[in-house]
């Protein structure tokens, strides 16, 4: 299997998991299965994939100080294996954060109609979705509508 195929599989897994996470905001019994899968198990799967991808070249990355400059990072990501590893890294952490948002919103009784767009924003723009959720939580605590 080549890196392009692995990229497609990772994206499909992420998309299905995100869709299930959003659906579970409206179908409460699904949360029992979906929330742990989205919060822990699928990110753990991505983490294992990341380690598998990054481990063979890890020493080389450290030796060449690839993270010391933007040009170094660009060179590092010119390798398809490293680029895929970075993408899987993003998928893992964004999904972990999305799972946290889903669980926290349920604990704080935040409407699914508000949370699902935030989850979509987190899926597409990671930290922007997290920031949006934190601002919504802050506004709700201050009594804003």
Instruction: Please report which helix (H) or strand (E) contains residue 62, including its range.
Output: helix 58-63
Residue written as token pair 């299965």: 33
- The model's pTM is 0.89
Residues in CB range of 11: below 8 A, 6 or more apart: 91
Going residue by residue through the chain, which has 145 residues, state the pLDDT in tens, using 9 for 90 and above.
Answer: 899 999 999 999 999 999 999 999 999 999 999 999 999 999 999 999 999 998 887 666 666 667 778 888 888 888 899 899 999 999 999 999 999 999 999 999 999 999 999 999 999 999 999 999 999 999 988 775 5
* Tokens at 79, concatenated: 């390798």
């Amino acid at each position: 299997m080549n890196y392009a195929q692995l990229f497609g599989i990772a994206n499909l897994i992420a998309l299905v998991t995100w869709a299930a996470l959003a659906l579970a905001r409206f179908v409460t019994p699904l949360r029992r299965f979906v929330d742990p899968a989205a919060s822990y198990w699928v990110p753990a799967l991505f983490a294992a994939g990341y380690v598998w991808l990054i481990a063979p070249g890890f020493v080389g990355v450290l030796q060449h100080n690839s993270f010391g400059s933007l040009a170094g990072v660009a060179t590092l990501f010119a390798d398809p294996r490293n680029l895929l590893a970075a993408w899987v890294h993003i998928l893992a952490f964004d999904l972990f954060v999305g799972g946290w948002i889903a669980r926290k919103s349920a604990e704080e009784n935040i409407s699914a109609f508000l949370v699902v767009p935030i989850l979509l924003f987190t899926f597409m723009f990671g930290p922007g979705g997290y920031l949006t959720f934190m601002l919504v939580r802050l506004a709700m605590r201050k009594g804003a509508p």
